[in-house]
Homo-oligomer: A and B are copies of this chain.
Amino acid sequence: MKKVVLLGAGNVAWSLANAIDSLDGYSLIQIYGLRIERAQEIAQESGRATATDDLSKINTSADIYIIALKDEAIASVADMIQYNGDALWVHTSGSVPMSAISRLSPRHGVLYPLQTFSRGRQVDISEATIFTEGSDPITEKEIAGLARALTPHVMHADSMSRSRLHAAAVFACNFTNHLWTISADVLSKSDIPFSVMKPLIEETFKKAIQNGPEAGQTGPARRGDIATIRKHLEIVGPDYAPIYKLISQNIIDYYIPDEPNRL
């Protein structure tokens, strides 16, 4: 049985604690959280783990330490921890280099689950891909072993690849979500609920996954339909017209580079 200490009590930590608790061969023994109530919540749900908000009380007998803190806190918390063992230490961030936690143990690395986590909302981590990096091949194998207990989808990714993954996820999810907010805002002017878009988005998404998004591009910009684009620029108004214009021009440049009209 591998003993696991989890540092962090936010969305990622909550979701990982849930997933690790249901694994054979791994046992969560302690949760560290800056806010003790949140750490206690996770510890109580887990049942066997204790909670602390004191870095000097981190249990030093664990086999694996998982730092699931906010990106900007990882390096500074790692610098405050007194630890002299050689257990495995990993962080879970897409945008923090592995070196940020190298002083903690010779055996360190990254276990980055590509998923968006919300506290209180169970997501199936076994559908996500986990990207791993290790300080040496044996350590990486051990990290990949833990990752494979959580999901069949495990890939190696160094710091550069993780940065690309993170930037790609911002486009695919964060920006996409904001475009949905804009869409909902435009619809609200006619009292139409955003839910009318659901089947349309689902179908667009299915096609993007089946054939790749490039093959499924449609719409006024893809057709070079400048008249409709100009009409839409008026309809969406000054808050959103610059985004409409820039993405449309990018689509035109991508698919019909010899289109003479510019927006």
Contact = CB atoms under 8 A, between A and B. Distances in A.
A183 to B, nearest CB: 4
Interface stretch (A42-50, A53-61, A101-109, A247-255): A247-255
A81 interface: no
B163 A231 contact: yes
Contact of A246 (B181, B196, B242): B242
Interface string A145-188: 00000000101010011011111111111111111111110110
Interface in A89-131: 95, 114-116, 118, 121, 123-124, 127-129
Interface stretch (A18-26, A32-40, A210-218): A210-218
Contacts of A121: 207
Contacts of A218: 116, 173-174, 177
B181 A168 contact: no
A206 B235 CA distance: 28
Contacts of A236: 167, 171
Contacts of A72: 225
Interface string A227-250: 010011001100110111011001
